[in-house]
Amino acid sequence: MAFAQLALQSIEFSHPGMTMPLFTELTVQFPFGWTGIVGPNGAGKTTLLKVVTGELEAHGGTVNRQGQALYVAQRTNDPPEQFEDFIWAPDATVLKARLRVVEDWPERWDTLSHGERKRAQIAVALWREPAVLALDEPTNHIDADARRLLRRALQEFGGIGLLVSHDRALLDELCSQCVLLDPPSAVLRPGGVTAALAQLDNEETSARSANDALRRTETRLQAEAQRRRVVADQKAAGMRGSKQIKIPVHDHDGRAKRNLAKVSGKDAYAGKMVAQMNQQVGKVAKQRAGIEVKKRYETGIWVDGASFMPRDFLLRLPAGSLPLGGDGRQLHFPDLVLGGTSRIALTGTNGLGKSTLI
């Protein structure tokens, strides 16, 4: 394997039409072994893999990369490049066995299940021995068996690996560090994703409680400032009232003048207090703005105004069987009833006929 090195220096990138850059000033070094790339949907994980492997060009900064880089997409629509070569290569025997790739697969790619295609795709990628291997969601939609085979094969990889995955266990098992993406920021944390996210959670929790405390203080200060403004206004009105009281010509003991001075003095004092309170409010607001409280990402799907189907059932299918492929295999199913509020899990290993049934 060629000497590998991978470093990003001040990378800038945005897709056409984006109002905010996806990455700015992104500087990361990737060591040998696997680095997890973690972030919510749309955070730029796939984009990062493509920038790193040269499929996309950064708009600023530099990608220092030596040796061959391979990007392995999540989708498995097309057979991998060099699939035939791999099948007949003498040095592919171990990988073929390890990932259980069968020799007739290139001819019948169209009939392979996703899990089988994924195993083939990754086997070929590993066989090509790239210096940098970037895998996009390799374990999505594959069963436990295939996942185990993949994990073992990936553990053997000796180059620099980037792994985008929502499979926490896989990230924990393979990765020695994680890049957490949250545009436009990206942070590198040591350890598997569980450790990295726990650290992030802690920081977020303390930021959130500091923010809450400051918000309560801000509200209190605002109320106090308002109260003092009212007092100051009352004082000012009172003073205007006193001013109108004519100071008697014979203010022998200067009492009226003293009273006036007292009132205007109080007014100035109240005004100063209001200004002070406002200053405090401003300070707290500024402190609060300095605390970054990340928004929580919701998962799941909401449809506005949606309601459940009022009917008793949407579908009734009496027990029967379905042919699976051309080799005479059959899928036998029991009576099926689908109600308006049904939530149905359809489970089974890859290639068992789940998609066919649907």
Ligand X SMILES: Nc1ncnc2c1ncn2[C@@H]1O[C@H](COP(=O)(O)OP(=O)(O)OP(=O)(O)O)[C@@H](O)[C@H]1O
Binding site for Mg ion (CB under 5 A): 45-46
Minimum distance from CB of 74 to Mg ion (Å)? 6
User: Nearest 5°: phi and psi at 55?
Assistant: -70, -30
Q: Which is nearest to 7 in space by CA: 25, 35, 26, 28?
A: 28
Residue 328 interacts with, from ligand X, Mg ion, none (CB under 5-8 Å by kind): none
Binding-site residue total for ligand X (CB under 6 A)? Answer: 12
Residue 44 interacts with, from Mg ion, ligand X, none (CB under 5-8 Å by kind): ligand X
Nearer to ligand X, 19 or 347 (CB): 19
Candidates 6, 45, 149, 177: give the one binding ligand X (CB under 6 A): 45
By CB under 6 A, is residue 46 in contact with ligand X? yes
Minimum distance from CB of 56 to ligand X (Å)? 8
Contact between residue 271 and residue 232 where contact means Cβ atoms under 8 Å apart: yes
Candidates 4, 8, 11, 43: give the one binding ligand X (CB under 6 A): 43
Report how far residue 138's alpha carbon sits from residue 163's, in angstroms, rounded to the nearest whole number. 8
User: Nearest 5°: phi and psi at 74?
Assistant: -70, -40
Run of H or E including 252: none
Nearer to ligand X, 46 or 106 (CB): 46
Nearer to Mg ion, 186 or 274 (CB): 186
Report how far residue 83's alpha carbon sits from residue 212's, in angstroms, rounded to the nearest whole number. 57
Minimum distance from CB of 138 to ligand X (Å)? 13
Candidates 3, 16, 20, 345: give the one binding ligand X (CB under 6 A): 16
Beta-sheet pairing, 160-164 with 33-38: parallel
Residue 353 interacts with, from ligand X, Mg ion, none (CB under 5-8 Å by kind): none
Report how far residue 295's alpha carbon sits from residue 46's, in angstroms, rounded to the nearest whole number. 22
Orientation angle between helical segments 114-127 and 144-155, nearest 10 degrees: 10
User: Nearest 5°: phi and psi at 164?
Assistant: -95, 125
User: Nearest 5°: phi and psi at 196?
Assistant: -65, -45
Minimum distance from CB of 36 to ligand X (Å)? 13
Q: CB under 6 A: which stretch of 15-23, 117-125, 171-179, 345-353 binds ligand X?
A: 15-23
By CB under 6 A, is residue 165 in contact with ligand X? no
Measured CA angle at 212 (ends 211, 215), to 5 deg: 85
Minimum distance from CB of 48 to Mg ion (Å)? 9
Residue 42 interacts with, from Mg ion, ligand X, none (CB under 5-8 Å by kind): ligand X
Minimum distance from CB of 94 to Mg ion (Å)? 30
Report how far residue 48's alpha carbon sits from residue 15's, in angstroms, rounded to the nearest whole number. 12
Nearer to ligand X, 46 or 53 (CB): 46
Nearby residues of 127 by Cβ (< 8 Å), 6 or more positions away: 86, 89, 91, 92, 95
**Residues found near ligand X in the complex (CB under 6 A):** 15-17, 22, 39, 41-47
